[in-house]
């Protein structure tokens, strides 16, 4: 049973930058000839695209009895109150309000987030900060599964 899923994809401008990296690699190899230039263009663009894709492939899911955020799997029984953060609050929790012990799934290009308290007494992590484009949807999913 899956009640929420979101993939935090990289913005379109990052893909443009990946293409420009490929062009730059091709131009660097242009003095060596056409074939090395094409090899540099293709391999540079491919490597940059892999980097953008891997960074933008993180997912947040509420499945069964767990919140899965990136590589972290947190049992719902260990979660407390979930709170949606608007852009200003999310920025504050990324900066001066942040706790170094917290689990933070940050994506700077996503302005909103959710802050979920971790209530497990054996876990020193005070909360999980999750960048999300749909904070109300994630909070509703967490509230619905815990009820």
pLDDT of residue 108: 86
pLDDT tens for residues 39-54?
999 999 999 999 999 8
Q: Would you state the pLDDT for residue 146?
A: 74
Residue 33, sorted as left (phi over 0), alpha (psi -120 to 50) or beta, turns out to be left
User: What is the band of 2 on the pLDDT scale with cuts at 50, 70, 90?
Assistant: low
Q: What is the pLDDT of residue 147?
A: 67
For the stretch 92-141, pLDDT in tens is: 999 999 999 999 999 988 999 999 999 999 989 999 999 999 999 999 99
Residue with tokens 């054996």: 122
- The side-by-side arrangement of strands in the sheet containing 72-75 is 2-8, 58-63, 66-69, 72-75
**How is the chain split into domains, by residue range?**
9-55, 75-146
Reported as a single tens digit per residue, the pLDDT across 8-66 is 989 999 999 999 999 999 999 999 999 999 999 999 999 999 999 988 889 999 988 89
């Amino acid at each position: 049973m899956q009640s929420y899923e979101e993939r935090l994809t990289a913005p379109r401008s990052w893909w443009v930058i990946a293409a420009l990296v490929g062009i730059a690699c091709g131009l660097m190899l242009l003095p060596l000839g056409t074939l090395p230039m094409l090899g540099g263009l293709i391999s540079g663009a491919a490597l940059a695209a892999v980097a953008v894709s891997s960074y933008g492939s993180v997912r947040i899911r509420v499945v069964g009895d767990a919140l899965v955020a990136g590589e972290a799997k947190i049992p719902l029984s260990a979660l407390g109150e979930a709170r949606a953060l608007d852009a200003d609050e999310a920025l504050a929790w990324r900066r001066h309000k942040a706790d170094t012990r917290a689990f933070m799934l940050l994506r700077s290009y996503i302005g909103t987030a959710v802050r979920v308290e971790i209530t497990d007494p054996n876990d020193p992590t005070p909360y999980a900060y999750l960048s999300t484009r749909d904070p109300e949807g994630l909070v509703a999913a967490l509230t619905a599964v815990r009820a």
